[in-house]
Amino acid sequence: MTSSQKIALALAGVGKIARDQHIPSCEEGRDFDIKAAISRNGKIEGAENFESYDAFLQNRNGIQAISLCTPPEVRFDMAKKAIAAGLDVLMEKPPAATMGEAQALAEMADMAGVVLFATWHSRFANGVEPAREWLSTKKITSVTITWKEDVRRWHPGQAWIWEAGGFGVFDPGINALSILTAIIPGQTIVEKASLSFPANRQQPIAASLKMRSAAGAPISAEFDWRQEGPQTWDIVVETDKGTLRLAKGGAELYIDGKLTVEGPDREYARIYTRFAELVRTRKSDADYQPLRLVADAFLTGERHEVEAFIE
């Protein structure tokens, strides 16, 4: 395959994230051509549409890669079948429901010789790579994460997100953890956590984490789905040579209070540029540290019951 040839792509799960991000990024990019879609409820014009995933795998007609945009609880079986069929696989975040599933998929892909890309879209925000570069020459003394949003605004009617395996407030919180682990070197350690569960839900609506970096710097994180009014997605890093702040989910970068990086959202465009690079060079990119931090938060977390959540 040459760099000028478009990669034939299938998209599984034609929901909101697919229509808002995946489809426009492919249509506006130069690397992928969506040839097939698999969904019980949605269709993509100009693509061959399937309701059955198994039927698609039996009639995939030259498709090389697939993007899995389904909820995480069904993604393992779909990814497993795609890998067995020899397809290169892109997985929406979080890549799997458990660390066991994630690690198993990485081993399967390696043995099959296919590409596996576990995406963390917030890592592709405008300010994240410049932040990593700036921090690479500094001593980090502390990190503070404040990630507070209104669940009714961003996840209306998504009942699965409150069920076992649905992640609750860690669905957005894992975005912050993906940025953290991209800009801070080494493994981050969870020391303790406090998790707030609505009386009528299986997943937390808020969480407080105390962590430390591999070098010993303290890291605190506050996640909350009850934020009304202005929404907050900030990461502040104190260093021996100044203060760095990533705002608006990584879209803006401030150094000592001065805005140094901003621009239009291109997270998913960059994801597909990266996926094309991986497919053409036959390399995988599957970092599961953000998922491991969520798992560790549940392992170390104190459970607190709060008032019932009524949408």
- Domain hosting 205: range is 122-263+295-306
Same structural domain for residues 43 and 108? yes
Same structural domain for residues 302 and 159? yes
With 0-12 CB in 10 A as exposed, 13-18 as middle and 19+ as buried, what is 263? exposed
CA-to-CA dists, residue 224 to 32, 107, 143, 160, 173, angstroms: 36, 34, 18, 18, 9
Distance CA 29, CA 304 (A): 46
Same structural domain for residues 113 and 173? no
Query: Is residue 4 very low, low, confident or very high in pLDDT (cuts 50, 70, 90)?
Result: low
Asked if 93 is an active-site residue, the reply is: yes
Q: In this structure, is residue 95 part of a structural domain?
A: yes
Of the residues 93, 148, 210, 283, only one is catalytic, namely 93
Of 41, 90, 49, nearest to 66 by C-alpha is: 90
- Residue 41's pLDDT is 87
Number of domains the chain is built from:
2
| Tens digit of each residue's pLDDT (9 = 90 or more) over 202-213 | 999 999 999 999
Q: Which residue has the tokens 């497993």?
A: 80
| Tens digit of each residue's pLDDT (9 = 90 or more) over 79-111 | 999 999 999 999 999 999 899 999 999 999 999
Same structural domain for residues 103 and 149? no
| Boundary of a domain, candidates 65, 100, 118 | 118
| Tens digit of each residue's pLDDT (9 = 90 or more) over 25-58 | 999 999 999 999 999 988 999 999 999 999 999 9
- Residue pair 294/110 in contact by the 8 Å Cβ criterion: no
The CATH number of the domain holding residue 58 is 3.40.50.720
Q: What pTM did the predictor assign?
A: 0.93
Q: In this structure, is residue 21 part of a structural domain?
A: yes
Distance CA 230, CA 145 (A): 16
Same structural domain for residues 99 and 159? no
CA-to-CA dists, residue 246 to 4, 51, 234, 236, angstroms: 35, 41, 6, 6
